[in-house]
Chain A
Amino acid sequence: GENVGLHLPTLSVQEGDNSIINCAYSNSASDYFIWYKQESGKGPQFIIDIRSNMDKRQGQRVTVLLNKTVKHLSLQIAATQPGDSAVYFCAENGENAGNMLTFGGGTRLMVKP
């Protein structure tokens, strides 16, 4: 294995339960947000995104919620599975143009069978 997630906050959930991963972003000018999943030994994988004109967006088993008032983003995973075990990062575009992103610190999700 490798040290991705070694020093990151950890969320431990039981298989089948719902998971909620939180992210506080810093730049009030950000208008685009992404959640990435990084499994051990792999690069970050796009999960879901949301623009600031929305407060909720749903995908397959995942929902992203955006609260611009308190600059908070969350990722909800329904019926968490062992394959969901990974490190999750939020990213924001800040004041940048041209696809540049700033990444949050990350949360390690551990799913107990």
Chain B
Amino acid sequence: GQQVMQIPQYQHVQEGEDFTTYCNSSTTLSNIQWYKQRPGGHPVFLIQLVKSGEVKKQKRLTFQFGEAKKNSSLHITATQTTDVGTYFCAGIWDTGRRALTFGSGTRLQVQP
């Protein structure tokens, strides 16, 4: 079935270091979305990418969608303790089920 693979599963960084998580689909995506979930909380929408090669920024967060629309990344510059949580990508395809399929998530720990 259609799925998105997300790596790494876990990353521990020192405050101020950068962080990147990657998502990959074997088939072309219609769009990809990113969510953040704080410990004990619910997922919260961050951004949606639709166009091939799209790059969007939100303060220290940079989101990219690959040219082939099969991969995406989230990069955080100079992490802060407030960035702690699990980051999920979620994709949807033009064919098949019309609902988001989530990656397994990357849990980010930030050491002060």
Answer yes or no: are A and B bound together in one complex: no
Binding site for B on A (CB under 8 A): none
B contact residues vs A (CB 8 Å cutoff): none
